[in-house]
Structure 1
Amino acid sequence: MVRPQSKPSEREKYRAPRTALDVENYPVAPSELELAQVHVYVRHGERTPVSTRMSGAPGNIPERWNMCREARRFRAAVAGDPSARLLDVTRIVEQSSGQAAEGECLLGELTDTGRASTFNFGQALRRLYIEKLGLLPDTLTNQADVYFRSTNMPRTVESLQQVIHGLYPMSKCDPLISHRILVRNGREENLIGNTLGCKRLETLLVNFATAAAAAYNPTLEPLDKRLSKYLGGNPIRVDGKPRASGILDTIRAAMAHGLKVPSEFEERSITSTIERAVVNEWFSDKTEEVRRLGMGRLLGDLITKMEIKANEAYTVDRSPKILIHSTHDTALAALANTLDVFDDRWPGFTASITFELFKHSTPSNGSAEPLPTNTPPPQQNPGILQSVLSKPFKQRRQLAADYYVRARYQNRNLVLPLCAEEGKHLHGSPEFCTLEAFAERVIELVPKDWDAECSV
């Protein structure tokens, strides 16, 4: 006799993760540490799937999502007409049939839900770093206090716009302040593992994906009997058609918007098995070379800006207090992987990783060689990375010893293996790395000649 399968309870069901920033339970640093700077890397908000999958029976996941009614109206600059410099425009998606549905989303587009969650994320940053910790002023009067950057994707740019308005709405800005969002050209981008500009990285990642298919396709085979009916009779595979990553993307996007998905995908044993395979294909631990080519330059930017902040007492230029970067799941997972603290879970929408720089209130005795007093702000001179990191630590050691770095991911502190040894973290608090220990590891990861290494 075959016992009928019992339906999972609400608690047992697989759900897309919710990753709202938890301000109330934020662990305040020890009293001897003063927060000096924070770097935020946040994944964009909820979006539609990047491709249409399982839209026919029996999956019945909607092919078209009417969830993009907000921000459809905007004002565009008009060239050559001084009397009408702005033009009101409404953007509407046109279908191949010629029909146009107001509020319909493009594939991969930030939805109204995503706009709300990223706005809420910005408000949470305000409650934490302005109202609770006092790192930033209540009203923004100095543009140099903030730094905003995004990848050149509509969903990340629009997410960052929402974060900014949550952090510093216009009512909390000096009338002369105009928020700036920095975007880099594709080949210069380092907020993701840049396979466009680095063919060597692309080759390595393709090889890892092939290896993941060989290793994890057998774990997916037992799911075929229950899932193939939703995939046009095809088996579910890492390298299948559709790919397992695409299937999970559609399921998680639908769940995040409260849409009904086939009951099988709500079973934790099924979807967790798919997630494990997908995470190993996309995010799982890679080689030191992949870490260098993928995240080395980004971490180099991070440590450079921290060292400039640490040197601020010696410089006439003022560096930002908060730096917010709007990016993708691949960046968050790669950062965590590179620092050996990845939890092997696919980062959710608006998931974030932060790096907080603290100054010890009782600095140790000694001297360090400061940066030159005419050092330009980092965003104006990215070449400063090599000039800062090329200085031997014996010249910067004492200054670095007065500063600590704490990494946080998914609302929890990360204890980084790179500073586990005694003397490389704040005594009794292993989550606070010395800036020196953190920088030593980063220097190992920064390519000395990225273009040359990418051409191998």
Structure 2
Amino acid sequence: MALNDTPPAAHTGAAGHVPLDVDGYPVAPRELALEQVHMYVRHGERTPVGVRMSAPPASIPEHWMFCNTARRFRAAVAGRAAAGPLDSEGEDESLRLRRVVERRDGTPAIGECLLGELTDVGRESTYNFGRALRELYVQKLGFLPDTVHSNDEVYFRSTNMPRTIESLQQIIHGLYPMNKSAEDFTPLVRIRNGKDENLFGNTLACKRLEVLLVGFAQAAVAAWNPSLEPLDKKVSKYLQGPIRLDGKPRASGVLDTVRAAEAHGIPVPPEFKEKSVLDVIEKAVVQEWFADKTEEVRRLGMGPLLSDLASKMDRKAELGAQDPLRILVHSTHDTCLAGLCSTLDVYDEKWPAFAASVTFELFRERTDEAQRASVWQTLLTPFRRPPPIEHYVRVRYQNRNLPLPFCSEEGKHLPGAPEFCTLAAFRERVVELTPKDYEAECAPPSNRTSS
């Protein structure tokens, strides 16, 4: 069943959302050529994952009526004789469906969103993100082809969640609309089984990681609840209780509801607009989820994903034009973006906005191959090869370059440009972050053999 891919109507923008800045994109130095782009994109604006603060005086709606475009479905079905087999050939027919939320009392609510669902606003922002990718990498840089012909050129992957899958569909439609896709091209949207997922810290597959994260969360409760206590006199009347990391609702849930409401133009209590209030809540929640994580947590959480990324970069660096893959877009969650930045020691300690992205760009140094080979043939013995072409990795987030601390030493980055980390230095750090035996390291303590 295919979603109707008509882009939603224009929207004025959403709180916290930072569109991809095409005009302000910093073009690499002339001596570098872009080879491959890896993008990790948070899904677009969605409804909260739980009903919170719906009672007066907060009165944030329980029912969110922002899902009209997402409700229209069209599927192609094969026409067949009444008694014919299901796979028999026949003329295509169109099966039209309109999905609707049914409330507890049985009432159908046209346009209502499910909890945690991508809204029309989120569909628009991710569609516009895809359009910005096209404007940047196709039109401005000429890096991607104007028309896509094969899945060997592009890679699209999502977590197995409706909001990330639908976000990716919108990004693809913005990047390569139908009139810019070859007639026989159908994009593949890759989705992994839960046990194989690495676009977030996989506590389902890694029980040791779950134990560690629960421990960090409990420690954060003890450390940061006292910082939230002074806010009670301002916000507890909206929560029917104090605001705490382990409260009901949890502070992370309060932050989620406030951010989602602001993104859709839903009024929130004025106290939640005060910087002094929201900053304390955000800082406590960020500390609960991401701060002070050990090397073990980084290895088990984001290590598998970074290993995947580095392997694909290594392949591109080795094969060059023989590997046609140029862009990889992953539709994922806030925890992936914050997890990547935290693991690489470049996290700004702000919760990632809807449709935010972390980008890893692979560059190679430009060389005159004929001149280079000639010089080395005269200088070196026949048993020596010319030095390999150097490759560099640049990381970007929220339209900013992020120089990686482990690439700061001389020789580990492009001279005069610390944001361009050598692929060798990047790979060296990723190797440290890659579990040597993931299953063994992920086993809970009771299942481990003593050394």
Q: Same fold by TM (over 0.5)?
A: yes
Cα distance, 1:16 vs structure 2:
3.8
The percentage of aligned residue pairs carrying the same residue is 64
CA contact (8 A) 1:285 1:337 kept: no
Check if 1:135 corresponds to 2:143: yes
Corresponding position of 2:306: 299
Q: Aligned in 2, Cα 1:239/1:348: closer, same or farther, shift over 3 Å?
A: same
TM-score (norm 1): 0.87
Equivalent runs, 1:118-197 vs 2, <5 Å:
118-197=126-205
Provide the rounded CA distance (Å) in 1 between the counterparts of 2:283 and 2:56. 27
Cα distance, 1:85 vs structure 2:
6.1
Cα distance, 1:320 vs structure 2:
1.2
Corresponding position of 1:389: none
Aligned partner of residue 121 in structure 1, secondary structure: helix
Q: Deviations over 1:432-451 (max 9, x none)?
A: 00000000000111111111
TM-score (norm 2): 0.88
Provide the rounded CA distance (Å) in 2 between the counterparts of 1:85 and 1:336. 48
Corresponding position of 2:35: 36
Cα distance, 1:76 vs structure 2:
3.6
Corresponding position of 1:448: 436
2:406 to 391, 397, 418: 418
- The one-letter amino acid paired with 1:340 is D
CA contact (8 A) 1:312 1:319 kept: no
- The one-letter amino acid paired with 1:40 is M
CA contact (8 A) 2:209 2:301 kept: yes
Cα distance, 1:73 vs structure 2:
1.7
Corresponding position of 2:21: 22
Q: Aligned in 2, Cα 1:57/1:337: closer, same or farther, shift over 3 Å?
A: same
Corresponding position of 2:391: 403
Query: What are the ranges of 5 or more consecutive residues in structure 2 without an aligned counterpart?
Result: 1-13, 79-85, 374-384, 445-451
Provide the rounded CA distance (Å) in 1 between the counterparts of 2:230 and 2:70. 44
Q: Aligned in 2, Cα 1:403/1:183: closer, same or farther, shift over 3 Å?
A: same
Equivalent runs, 1:351-430 vs 2, <5 Å:
351-362=356-367, 399=388, 402-430=390-418
Provide the rounded CA distance (Å) in 2 between the counterparts of 1:343 and 1:426. 24
Q: Aligned in 2, Cα 1:301/1:60: closer, same or farther, shift over 3 Å?
A: same
RMSD: 1.9
Provide the rounded CA distance (Å) in 1 between the counterparts of 2:302 and 2:76. 37
| Runs of 4+ displaced beyond 4 Å | 81-86, 363-366
Range with bigger deviation, 266-275 or 71-80: 71-80
Provide the rounded CA distance (Å) in 1 between the counterparts of 2:42 and 2:324. 24
Check if 1:265 corresponds to 2:264: no
CA contact (8 A) 2:123 2:166 kept: yes
Provide the rounded CA distance (Å) in 2 between the counterparts of 1:85 and 1:447. 50
CA contact (8 A) 1:407 1:413 kept: yes
Cα distance, 1:285 vs structure 2:
3.5
CA contact (8 A) 2:47 2:113 kept: yes
CA contact (8 A) 2:74 2:95 kept: yes
- The one-letter amino acid paired with 2:393 is V
